[in-house]
Amino acid sequence: MSEQVWCTAETQRRIGRRLREQGLVGSQHASFGNLNRPVPQLERDAIWQESVGGLLDPLDDRYAALGRFTLRVVVAGSVLRGQVPVPTMTRSTRPATTVPQYTVQIEQVGFYLFDSYDFNGDQPLGFWSTTGVSRLPAIGYDYVSNESFRNWRAQHGRGGDFLVYSDLKLIRRNPPDSFALPIMG
C-alpha cells in the first residue's frame, strides 16, 4: 500500500493495455474493474503481484498456514476522454488542432492473497509431531515433505490439492490517483 504499486510506470502501462483490450478507451467515459465480484473472478484483472514468504521466515501461524504465497493487486475506476492541443510549427489564426487524451482515474484498490496447495515437486514441509512443527530434526518429530503427503494421500484416499484466496481488502482513493494514457499510434 505504501509503495502505491498501481502508480508505477510499468503498472500504468499494464492497466492501459488491459483497458484498450477491453475496448474501454475511445468513449467519453467508461468505468472498469468491478471489485464486487468473488476474488477468484478477479484473477485475470490483477495488475501487480509479488511472492511473499520463504524458508527463512519465522515459524508462526502465517508461515504454517501459507508458507510462500502471492500478494495481488486489482484496481477499479474510470477512463475519461479529453482533448489536448497539438503544437503547430507556424503561427496561424486557425484554431489549434487537438487529439484525444485519456485520463485513467484509480478510485479503488483491492489487495488479496493467493496460495496453491498442490503438493507437486519436492518441497520440505518441516519436522512434525503431534505437539508441533520444527524446522530442524528433533526427537519424536517426523520429516514431512510433499512426497510424504502424496504417499499418505494415496494410502488413505483423503486429502487433495486446492487453491486459497483471502478476502479482498478494498481501499478507496479519495481523491482518485490519475494518470494520462499515452497516445497509441
Q: Are 48 and 76 part of one and the same domain?
A: yes
* Judgement on whether residues 10 and 83 belong to the same structural domain of the protein: yes
Q: What gap in Å lies between CA 145 and CA 124, rounded to an integer?
A: 4
- Using left for φ > 0, alpha for ψ between -120 and 50, and beta otherwise, residue 53 falls in left
For residues 138 and 76, membership in a common domain is answered with no
CA–CA separation, 129 vs 53, rounded Å?
23
Q: Are residues 82 and 126 part of one domain?
A: no
Mapping DSSP to helix (H, G, I), strand (E, B) and coil, where does residue 66 land?
A: helix
Residue whose C-alpha cell reads 502471492 in the numeric block: 70
CA distance to 4, 96, 159, per residue, from 43 (Å): 19, 44, 25
> How many domains in the chain?
2
| Nearest alpha-carbon partner for 130 in 138, 119, 122 | 138
Convert the pLDDT of each residue in 112-170 to its tens digit. 999 887 888 887 888 989 988 888 899 999 999 889 889 989 999 998 888 889 999 99
pLDDT 10s digits, 3-44: 788 989 999 999 999 999 988 887 778 999 999 999 999 999
Q: State pTM to two decimals.
A: 0.73
Nearest C-alpha neighbor of 38 from the set 170, 165, 163, 173? 165
Could you list the residue range(s) of the whole structural domain that residue 130 is in? 119-159
Residue 185, in any domain of the structure: no
